[in-house]
Structure 1
Amino acid sequence: MHLGKKLRLERIFNRNTGRTIIVPLDHGVTVGPISGLVDLRDTVGKIAEGGANAVVMHKGLARCGHRGEGSDVGLILHLSASTSISPYPNAKTLVGSVEDAIKLGADAVSVHVNLGDESERDMLRDMGMIASRASDWGMPLLAMVYARGPKVKDEYDVDVVAHCARVGEELGADVVKVPYTGDMDTFTKVVEACCIPVVIAGGPKLENGRDLVQMVYDAVASGGAGLSIGRNIFQHDNPSLLIKTLNQVVHNDLEIEDAMEMLEKG
């Protein structure tokens, strides 16, 4: 592996466990300045204090989240975008480059692909191009791959999710982010069919902390490499405490009841 890529991956993965806690903060382009994404420095501070490994941001947001003090956290620059008010919200387009990430001191780049969308071929082409460029520079690539389109009946189906993970792997990503399939047996099949680290997305806002902790615990126990979860973390009442708890689950295999006690006691 390119030494530069190895060093950058070690900034966004725990080098002892090979796992990671990533908190995406790129939602502002898609849905606007929602709760938790108004004061970016405060949010990033809480995320870093909790011990997350990395955040995901668009290029213009990096300056708003930079603090210059406190705990450090890795930066993954997101290169894909679309908005919820577009008639084609699932059609992602490139809005940044690997060179942008290098200039901003990022540790990795990420690209979003929605399989099954009418513009799938464009998104696949873009991810393949970014993967090649990232490889040239020794820049890790996180591929966010989902199945969203008219032929997709269930985006959480194990065969569908495994297909998503495999696309990320085969087109040159170093890490792939996919939805959790809902249980350990099926997610194990996803992980076993992919030779790069697989992290889970958070999906819609969950009802309570236990559901989130359980999902993360099960995903890691299935062989997953951690999580890339946004709203369920940055919109939590105490993001720092939640991340500290998830840290114990992801990196130290803390059991569910012990994790819930930690979360509830604060």
Structure 2
Amino acid sequence: MKKYIPADVPIGKKEEFLKNFLEITNNTGRLMLFAGDQKIEHLNNDFYGEGISQDDNNPEHLFKIAANAKIGVFATQFGLITRYANLYPDVPYLVKLNSKTNIIPYSAKDPYSKQMIDMKNVIELKNDMGVNIKGVGYTVYLGSEYEREMLSEASKIVHEAHKNAMIAVLWMYPKGKFVKDEHDPHIIAGAAGVAACLGADFAKVKVPYKNGKFKPELLKEATSAAGNTGVLCEGGKKIDETEFLKELYAQIHIGGSRGNGTGRNIHQRPIDEAIKMANAIYAITCENKSVEDAIKILRRRK
């Protein structure tokens, strides 16, 4: 597992970094990231409406899931963590450092998601307030006219995270007027490679499509291009549970991904169903279980 320790982790912090890394990956090197950053990214579209549990409109629903399900980390914004961390102190948190709403369409303006809070504030929350923070996350929109600013911020964030024994996850999303197809396997592989160049421990990427369809072989270019940076596929919109779990298994065992970043396919369900779905995803990702084993978890009674 020493291969997962970056060289910019100080000697005195290497043991803590490795402990955090092994804990959030269940000693597998694979990460099950429960994504709860959409309250800013998509406003209330992902939390209220047809096909979405009424539980989901209250942000505490996210924390209840994170506290009662098997997850690697729960990723959400700094402020939301401060609102609920005292109630849910055992949740392993990953602070999402930048976010933007979707009000302004990409066709109107290239996206720029600026860092909202400094790393020193995250370090204080972890060390001085005792919040169980395991890592940080940041989105880079490659292809945007503002990519230089985001690349610079991301590089500094990754380095500062490592200096403080924290894991760094980069959301690598090609977007902007020059990006014709954000699900193109080749551009996704390029994004994964950039994440490695920035020093990230994990890169969260779009699912690659060809002719509008996912084939796990399409991931191989990205997982190879990322080197020892782990590739996580985004979860996307809520779909049938079995279909989701089959695709996840193929992403890992054929495409070579090292985990997933899933939000809506978990939190849009009632609390009991959400916990079982998270546990099923974790079973495949971090416990090396089969799709059949994961489905059994979904079918269990309370």
Instruction: With the length of structure 2 as denominator, give the TM-score of the two structures.
Output: 0.80
Q: Which amino acid aligns with 2:102?
A: S
Q: Deviations over 1:13-46 (max 9, x none)?
A: 212x221211111111223243465433333222
Matched residues in 1 for 2:77 and 2:83: separation? 11
In structure 1, the gaps of 5 or more residues are none
More off after superposition, 254-263 vs 152-161 = 254-263
Local SS of the residue matching 1:199: strand
Paired position in structure 2 for 1:242: 277
Displacement of 1:11? 3.4
Q: Which has the larger radius of gyration?
A: 2
Displacement of 1:235? 0.7
Q: Deviations over 1:49-86 (max 9, x none)?
A: 2211110111110123325468x331100111211224
Count of residue pairs the alignment pairs up: 263
1:24 aligns with 2:24: no
Q: Which amino acid aligns with 1:81?
A: S
Paired position in structure 1 for 2:186: 159
* Gap change, CA 1:258 and 1:244, over 3 Å in 2: same
Contact kept, 8 Å, 1:40 with 1:65, in 2: the verdict is no
Contact kept, 8 Å, 2:110 with 2:176, in 1: the verdict is no
Equivalent position to 2:220, from 188, 201, 213: 188
Paired position in structure 1 for 2:135: 108
Overall identity of the aligned pairs, in %: 24
Displacement of 1:189? 2.3
1:256 aligns with 2:256: no
Q: Deviations over 1:203-243 (max 9, x none)?
A: 2x133112211221111113211111111111124110101
Contact kept, 8 Å, 1:59 with 1:78, in 2: the verdict is yes
Paired position in structure 2 for 1:124: 151
Matched residues in 2 for 1:230 and 1:48: separation? 15
Please show how residues 128-143 of structure 1 align to structure 2 within 5 Å.
128-143=155-170
Local SS of the residue matching 2:204: strand
Local SS of the residue matching 1:32: coil
Contact kept, 8 Å, 1:11 with 1:107, in 2: the verdict is no
Please show how residues 1-266 of structure 1 align to structure 2 within 5 Å.
1=5, 2=9, 3=14, 4-15=16-27, 17-33=28-44, 34-35=47-48, 38-66=57-85, 68=87, 72-86=90-104, 88=109, 90-105=111-126, 106-181=133-208, 182-194=214-226, 195-203=228-236, 205-221=237-253, 222-237=255-270, 238-266=273-301
Matched residues in 2 for 1:132 and 1:22: separation? 21
Contact kept, 8 Å, 1:176 with 1:196, in 2: the verdict is yes
* Gap change, CA 1:137 and 1:265, over 3 Å in 2: closer
Matched residues in 2 for 1:20 and 1:133: separation? 21
In structure 2, the gaps of 5 or more residues are 49-54, 127-132, 209-213
* Gap change, CA 1:255 and 1:138, over 3 Å in 2: closer
Matched residues in 1 for 2:245 and 2:143: separation? 30
Structure 1 stretches of 4+ moved >6 Å: none
Displacement of 1:118? 2.0
